[in-house]
Structure 1
Amino acid sequence: MNKEVRVFAPATVANVAVGFDILGFAIDGPGDEVVARLAEGSGVRITSISGDGGKLPLKAEKNTAGFAAIRLLEQLGKSGLGVELEIHKKMPFGSGLGSSAASAAAGVMAINALLDMPVPKMESLHCAVLGEQIADGAYHADNVAPSLLGGIIFIRANEGLDVHSLPIPDELHAAVVYPHVSILTKDARDVLSPTTTLPQCIQQTGNLGGLVVGLYESDYELIGRSLQDVIIEPQRAQLIPGFSTVKSAALEAGALGCSISGAGPSVFALCKGREVAQTAGAAMQQAFLTQDIPCDLFVSPINKEGAKILA
């Protein structure tokens, strides 16, 4: 058993255009860090939180990382263990990059690492999802699973956590731009129609299947043809200033496809090769800057490791 560990859990892109609530992938950064150490007494205590501007609760039972840690200790029969957590938020809130999911993933990873990894990551996923549920009220794994497990994750069903890793073509990279505008997840949900047309369903299902086949076959052209969201993106695009211009800039720069990350406002592009990703990312960034919207650019291969112990 370790006396102290520091872990990192990465940001994620959920939905991946055609997989609303059922697809997500991890990127190398940004992300959250959690330090866990053995302490006297029993139970989980959060001693400090940095980078949150005082927004997050110190009470472990009401904090995503803290609650996830508590639930994993319960699962392992170690509820009587005394653990102190430090949480270091190193990614923006409300960015569409899975901030609360990263904290929850880091929370379970920290406990698992502190106890010398008694369970595989997959066996701690349920606790991490419960942790994120504290923040948004929903039990879903499209951000938490890739943040914890890494890679591109397909969620066949959240109930029972029927999740599966998809293959990652060697040259697949992501460019993600976070514009400094605010979109509440509730507002992003409220704009969605509860119904879709049969033609929309057929086209979206075809695109989802095409993306999965493209990943298995490393067929970049098929991946590009498939990254077309005909249901969610057209409804949410109105919430992101100049989204169509940003998307056009990415595609003109050579991106395979471009869409909204999670509930937004971040926008992602999948690309073949790092050079194209950097070019597409810079083009998206410039499209926001021409509207006087400051933004941050992250270029990364698909993160295959997910949450990890830091040296």
Structure 2
Amino acid sequence: MESIKVFAPATVANVACGFDIFGFAVDAPGDEVIVKKRNDKQIVITKISGDEGKLTLDASKNAVTVPIIAFLKKNGIEQGFDVELHKKMPLGSGLGSSSASSVAGVFAVNEILGKPCTTKSLLPFSMEGERIACGSAHADNVAPALMGGFVVIRSYNPLDIFSVPTPSELFVTIVHPDIEVNTKDARHILRNEVSMKNTIAQMGNVAGMIAGLMQSDYDLIARSMVDFIIEPVRAILIPEFWEVKHAALEAGALGCSISGAGPSVFAFSKGQSTAEKVAMAMKTAFEKASIHCNAYVSGVNIHGPKVIN
């Protein structure tokens, strides 16, 4: 195989109560990468589209190629590649944009080389893409983008990640407003200390979310989608957030919260038709404030990245 084209999905991290430990993949949007073998050892980014010229072509500084370089070095593989990156989602969207690029790149190279590594073992390399993109090797976007489904990061040292089954009728609505939230700003405003009362309540919701997903208990999922710690602080960065959340719940959503660091907002629903009604309600709430937005409706993507040619 001389070339390959791969899609890697967007992700929702935190999932209300699970700050930095929960994440799941969706069907759309996502990133596409085309990787072609070279006759030398160089890793070269030949093209980037969809980024409005914001991303670097320097392979040592781009999230799509840093994991590839780390993967090849670790495995002692001396093979060069040309890499095309096609961004199919906005940057800084709260949908794991850099994670999708990181996963697509290293997954493509592993495939084109005949799968010398298991998919899950590609995770540490993918995390290096996150490190270069946002300064910290978080896994709550990278892990679901790579593994698919709903994942829990139990520990970073040692790295311990596991998957949780999700109900077949669980659908997600994602609405991305045309506003910008800087991830570093969204993390900087968080409080360093949390009250015992809120910690206990949050722990209860984390446990409730896991149990609700595993038991297909939609009412328990809904009751557990309450974030006492992060959402109240970050909501100030997203205009009309509370109005959008109210609209989602009124339209039948199980719950609604911020996707990652924002500005995207997501909602869980039982059934695709309800999720589509929720999408319309959330879009309308944003647009009443003259904020343009895009909406996506998807099941939980259990497959992760895939070869598309």
Give the TM interval when normalised to the shorter protein.
over 0.9
How many Å apart are 1:161 and its aligned residue? 2.3
Residue aligning to 2:49: 50
Q: Give the CA deviation at 1:256.
A: 0.5
The equivalent of 2:154 in structure 1 is: 156
Correspondence 1:184-195 to 2 at 5 A: 184-195=182-193
Structure 1 segments, 4+ long, off by >4 Å, are: none
**Identity of matched residues, %:** 51
- TM-score between both structures, scaled by the size of structure 2: 0.99
C-alpha contact (below 8 Å) 1:178/1:297 kept by paired residues: yes
Distance in 2 (alpha carbons) for counterparts of 1:64 and 1:187: 20
- In the alignment, which residue of structure 1 is the partner of 2:13? 14
- CA positional deviation for 1:110: 1.0
RMSD across aligned positions (CA): 0.8
Tell me how far apart the structure 2 counterparts of residues 53 and 161 of structure 1 sit (CA, whole Å).
35
SS at match of 1:45: strand
Of 107, 118, 123, the match for 2:116: 118
Please give the secondary structure, in 2, of the residue aligned with 1:147: helix
Corresponding residue for residue 226 of structure 1: 224
Distance 1:34 1:157 in 2: 30
Q: Secondary structure at the match of 2:12?
A: strand
Q: Residue 75 of structure 1: CA displacement?
A: 2.4
Aligned AA (1:276): T
2:294 to 293, 296, 303: 296
Q: Contact between 1:174 and 1:299, CA under 8 Å: does it hold in 2? A: yes
Distance 1:108 1:92 in 2: 21
Partner of 2:256: 258
Q: TM-score when scaled to structure 1?
A: 0.98
User: By how many angstroms is 1:32 displaced?
Assistant: 0.6
Structure 2: distance between partners of 1:277 and 1:103: 27
Cα displacement string for residues 126-160 of structure 1 (whole angstroms, at most 9, x for unaligned residues): 00001111010101100001111110010001233
What per-residue deviation string (whole Å, max 9, x for no partner) do you get for residues 285-310 of structure 1?
11000000000000000000111111
Worse overlay, 12-21 or 154-163: 154-163
Residues in 2 aligned to 1:263 and 1:5: alpha-carbon distance in whole angstroms: 32
Matches within 5 A, 1:60-79: 60-78=59-77
Residue 279 of structure 1: CA displacement? 0.6
1:17 partner SS: coil
* Candidates 103, 106, 130, aligned match of 2:104: 106
Alpha-carbon distance, 1:113 to partner: 1.2
Deviates more, 1:6-15 or 1:157-166: 157-166
Work out the CA distance in 2 between the residues paired with 1:69 and 1:29: 24
Does the CA contact (< 8 Å) of 1:43 and 1:70 recur in 2? no
Deviates more, 1:124-133 or 1:43-52: 43-52
> Are the equivalent residues in 2 in contact too, given 1:139–1:158 (CA < 8 A)?
no
Q: CA deviation at 1:51?
A: 1.1
Offset of residue 76 of structure 1:
2.2
2:87 corresponds in structure 1 to: 89
Unpaired stretches in structure 2, ≥5 consecutive residues:
none
Cα offset, 1:21, TM superposition = 0.5
In the alignment, the residues of structure 1 paired with residue 91 and residue 3 of structure 2 have an alpha-carbon distance, to the nearest angstrom, of 27
Contact 1:177/1:268 (CA < 8 Å) preserved in 2?
A: yes
2:9 aligns to what SS in structure 1?
strand
Is residue 129–residue 137 contact of structure 2 (8 Å, CA) maintained in 1? no
1:42–1:83 Cα contact (<8 Å) kept: yes
| Amino acid across the alignment from 1:277 | A
CA contact (8 A) 1:152 1:167 kept: yes
Q: Is the 8 A contact 2:151 2:161 kept in 1?
A: yes
Which stretch of the first structure deviates more once superposed, 11-20 or 157-166?
157-166
